[in-house]
Amino acid sequence: MFEIKPIIGITANYVLNDKPGTSVGVGGNNQKWHMLADDYVKAVEDAGGIPIILPVLQGIQNVDLLLKNIDGLVFSGGCDVSPVLCGEDSHKKIGELCYYRDLQEIELARYLMDETDIPILGICRGMQLMNIARGGNLIQHIDEDKYGKHFFGNQNMCMPVHLVTTVKGSRIREIAGEEIKVNSYHHQSVNELGGGFSVVAQDSNGIIEAIEFDKRNAFTLAVQWHPEGIYTTVSEHRSIFRTLVDEARKKGGKQ
């Protein structure tokens, strides 16, 4: 008998240029690409889940069919979320946008939180998107003079670069402790909270580093750092994925 393991969907980046393929000789001109770092796949598998990469679909109505086959979901990191979704114009330092991905994941996040008990983990962009889905907004570009540096693009993901402090009584404190060593690869962050979310971790400068959704009977955690990149060196991050998988297992694996 095969062990029944929960299936964890992971959202993918949607890249609108052909460089990912043409640069390594496996694609042609004018192709678009679905992409996901292997770290996400390994983190879910090592935690006892079966990872499934979820594409950006042309028909939003088809997303519901995907959800029938998963027990948990990770909103992965990636490009900036469009400020238009918050009713704002773009900051001059806004990065690459993918409105197709934004639209699908906003609808997906709303549906998951409102209509299902599927456990959810948001990571970096995923945290920002989940907050927007509930009516929140973002700091579009972090002022380093005020809040310190948060994008360490040249740093290996497995190395921590700063500390975050969790809130007493929160799920993230239960999972990872009072103080967590984290990596950092973001220039945006949560500003005003969306309805139902609570701040459960911050850094020493007041940047929101984790939020939890209080208004559903299911695990719903989002973090600003990248636990999939650092779980092999800092064990607290491994516990985040194990908790997601354990919560998904309670819902009943479909394998």
Residues taking part in catalysis? 124, 226, 228
The terminus-to-terminus CA distance of the chain in angstroms comes to 11
Strand 220-223 relative to strand 120-123: parallel, antiparallel, unpaired? parallel
Helical (H) or strand (E) element with 51: strand 50-54
Do 120 and 75 meet the contact criterion of CB atoms below 8 Å apart?
Answer: yes
Q: Decide: 6 and 13 in contact? Cβ < 8 Å.
A: no
Cα distances (Å, whole numbers) of residue 77 to 2, 17, 23, 217, 224: 32, 18, 22, 25, 9
**Other beta carbons within 10 Å of 244:** 28
Residues linked to residue 211 through DSSP beta bridges, in sequence order: 199, 222
Torsion of CA 79, 84, 86, 88, to 10 degrees: 110
Closest CA to 210 of 240, 245, 242: 240
